[in-house]
Structure 1
Amino acid sequence: MNLRGAAVAKFLAKPDPATAGALIYGADAMRVALKRQDLIAALAGPSADEEMRLTRLSGAEAKSDPTVVLDALKAVGFFPGPRVVFVDGVTELQAGPVIAALEDWVPGDAALIVTGGALKKTSKLRKAFEGHKSAVAIGLYDDPMGREEIEAAIAAEGLQLTPEARRGVDALAATLDPGDFRQTLAKIALYAGDEAVTPEAVSLMAPATIDADTDEVIAAAADGRAAAIGPLMQRLNGQGVAAVTLVIFATRHFQQLHAAAVGGGIGSIRPPLFGPRRDAAERQLRQWGARKLEAALDLLMETDLTLRSSSRAPQMAVIERALIRLAMMAGAR
């Protein structure tokens, strides 16, 4: 089944417990990551990771071991409760084992949650989930957040908004990506406390433009400029950028490079790149190659798991170490 519009928000908020799973795909890795995070929490609850009811795999792992996804679906957990198998960043070349596992799914197996990039209508992965009687496919596009998404984000923070403040929040939703929007609402909630939010609070908590600095530190890692990463991370840390945001943005960048490496080259990246950004991506693609890019994505997935776990390691130090490791990989032969 293919879900769109209001049906997506309804499914993500209260998915059918008997669902076989869902494919969530789109060019915006941040938007995809937030939606799959919401879906996994709705299906398995907030303690699924600690109770070992959530299995995380990468597309590369599925390709290297064709039975690993199916085995995870069939496994019996130590703790009672619903189970989820999450396979991140699956490309068309890695789709075969995932599709086979979905076809062998039966009631009682874990739910299968898969994420991917900008998949075409001809995608085998899309067709498998769209055609499955118990699974869904959700395409996410770079449209502004819908009314239901905004309402859900406001309700999650328990915000009380004056009419003028609500207009300011709607303006933020139209200009920020969903991840930055949620972070901004969280800051507004902390600032306002139990009082009604004023337009002054919205203006004060609105983020400065950090995209350039974020892009720069990820480019430094992809180019192999390890020495530049430390000063850039200090700047981003001072701006209040979250470590999870950085790992999602870095994953999106390396997923695009990997898609270009195994697909139609830089011209296949969506949204398309122009000018200096295209030149940089072509240079990085020549420097990395498909195999090293798969290793980079594995490293980023491990980092994402660490950041979202109960580890007490300083989160910005964790992502800085990962970016430095990427820079060293870029220069390795």
Structure 2
Amino acid sequence: MKLSPREAARYFARPDPDGAGLLLYGGDPMRVALKRQEVIARLLGPGAEEEMRLTRLSPGDLRGDPAALGDALKARGFFPGPRVVFLDEATDTLADMIEAALADWQPGDAQLVVTARQLTPRSALRKLFEGHRTAIAIGIYDDPPGRDEIEAMLAAAGLTGLDRAAMGALTDLAGALDPGDFRQTVEKLALFKLGDSAPVTADDVAICAPRSTEADADALIHLVAEAKGNQIAPMLRRLEAQGVTPVTLCIAATRHFRALHAAAADPGGAAQGIARARPPVHFKARDRMVRQAQGWGVRRLEQGLGLLIDTDLQLRSSSRAPQMAVMERCLIRLAHLGASRS
């Protein structure tokens, strides 16, 4: 069966121990892996690795031995307790083998947990799990964790009594950081407050938050898109000192301007185009990017993308020109192009 996001949140909090199987799929391997770890830990409890109640299989194992999956689900271990068979990086080519194993599954067998990359609605794997009576399919999307999920992470880390400002700061971080980085920040915050009975404050969150060069790079790209050419050089020097490469900046700028172009060309208007962007635009940047897309227009955004593509080719070529100088010239030309728009 297929679970909605709300149903999935309830499932992750308390996975069904009597289910036959679970399929987790999504475009971000880190997000999928974190959810898989969470589910398996809750299904098996402590000591599963030492007691050999978790069996790991790869697609190569099944291609070499098609019966390996069914055998692993039926196997009985030396230690009592629930068991899980984990199949990583599955593809539609394994759907028939998985279907046969699930058809032979009986209560008392190990539960099957399968992970996969992004799957279309026509995927054989998705159809198999979504149509199964006792198996579940859950899509893991790039949306930042919601308040319920953040509160669950905080509770698991032993953090309680956050004030409103601290919760707001964590929510902002959840939207800005990768899932793994955010989880590490929560764990760091828990260690920071260990033995401290005072409520967690926004200042505590700021102390534990990682220094993100990506946030600075985004700030630079916004300056370019808003034609603030006189502020580009100081920001660029700071990023260069932090080790950010010209190619990284070019990729970030191209991604940003492509999002603006898609929004400007959207039949429903720039606001609707930004709302449709994938990965989603952080809520704090949405209005800003809507204004940028409306101000630039499709024609000038196409010119800007052409300039970025030419710069990217030059950065990746054998040219001896200083790469950061090439990138700086590109950004300044983009800002001038934005300032000249009518």
TM-score tier (shorter): 0.5 to 0.7
Answer yes or no: is the 8 Å Cα contact 2:95–2:128 preserved in 1.
no
For the pair shown, which has the larger CA radius of gyration, 1 or 2? 2
Matched, 1:201 2:204: yes
Tell me what 1:56 maps to: 56
**Cα distance change on mapping 1:63 and 1:167 into 2, 3 Å:** same
Tell me what 1:169 maps to: 170
**Cα distance change on mapping 1:61 and 1:16 into 2, 3 Å:** same
Question: How far apart are the structure 2 equivalents of 1:124 and 1:137?
Answer: 12
Question: How far apart are the structure 2 equivalents of 1:58 and 1:47?
Answer: 22
Question: How far apart are the structure 2 equivalents of 1:189 and 1:80?
Answer: 33
Tell me what 1:90 maps to: 90
Matches within 5 A, 1:298-313: none
Q: Counterpart of 1:78 in 2: which secondary structure?
A: coil
Give deviations 1:257-304, integer Å, cap 9, x for gaps.
xxxxxxxxxxxxx98xx969x99xxxxxxxxxxxxxxxxxxxxxxxxx
Matches within 5 A, 1:17-32: 17-32=17-32
**Cα distance change on mapping 1:3 and 1:275 into 2, 3 Å:** farther
Tell me what 1:216 maps to: none
Tell me what 2:182 maps to: 181
Question: How far apart are the structure 2 equivalents of 1:108 and 1:210?
Answer: 50
Instruction: Return the letter of the residue paired with 2:179.
Output: P
Matches within 5 A, 1:27-46: 27-46=27-46
**Cα distance change on mapping 1:79 and 1:123 into 2, 3 Å:** same
Give deviations 1:199-253, integer Å, cap 9, x for gaps.
11111211123679xxxxxxxxxxxxxxxxxxxxxxxxxxxxxxxxxxxxxxxxx
Question: How far apart are the structure 2 equivalents of 1:275 and 1:100?
Answer: 49
Q: Counterpart of 1:114 in 2: which secondary structure?
A: strand
Matched, 1:79 2:82: no
Instruction: Return the letter of the residue paired with 1:40.
Output: I
Tell me what 1:133 maps to: 133
Give deviations 1:139-187, integer Å, cap 9, x for gaps.
0111121221111011111223122111111111121222211110111
Instruction: Return the letter of the residue paired with 2:11.
Output: F
Matches within 5 A, 1:224-235: none
Q: Counterpart of 2:94 in 1: which secondary structure?
A: helix
Figure out how many residues of one structure are paired with residues of the other and give that number. 219
TM-score (norm. length: structure 1): 0.62
What percent identity do the matched residue pairs reach? 55
Question: How far apart are the structure 2 equivalents of 1:13 and 1:78?
Answer: 29
Q: Counterpart of 1:2 in 2: which secondary structure?
A: coil
Matches within 5 A, 1:245-284: none
- Shift >6 Å, 4+ stretches: none
Answer yes or no: is the 8 Å Cα contact 1:63–1:97 preserved in 2.
no
Tell me what 1:229 maps to: none
- CA apart distance, 1:94: 3.1
TM-score (norm. length: structure 2): 0.60
- CA apart distance, 1:34: 0.8
Tell me what 1:101 maps to: 101
- CA apart distance, 1:98: 2.0
Question: How far apart are the structure 1 equivalents of 2:72 and 2:214?
Answer: 37
Question: How far apart are the structure 1 equivalents of 2:57 and 2:171?
Answer: 36
Tell me what 2:332 maps to: none
Answer yes or no: is the 8 Å Cα contact 2:145–2:175 preserved in 1.
yes
**Cα distance change on mapping 1:46 and 1:210 into 2, 3 Å:** farther
The answer to which structure, 1 or 2, has the higher relative contact order (CA under 8 A, 6+ apart) is 1
- CA apart distance, 1:64: 2.3
Question: How far apart are the structure 2 equivalents of 1:34 and 1:192?
Answer: 24
Question: How far apart are the structure 1 equivalents of 2:110 and 2:88?
Answer: 16
Q: Counterpart of 2:113 in 1: which secondary structure?
A: strand
Q: CA RMSD in A?
A: 2.3
Instruction: Return the letter of the residue paired with 2:185.
Output: T
Answer yes or no: is the 8 Å Cα contact 1:164–1:199 preserved in 2.
yes
- CA apart distance, 1:95: 3.0
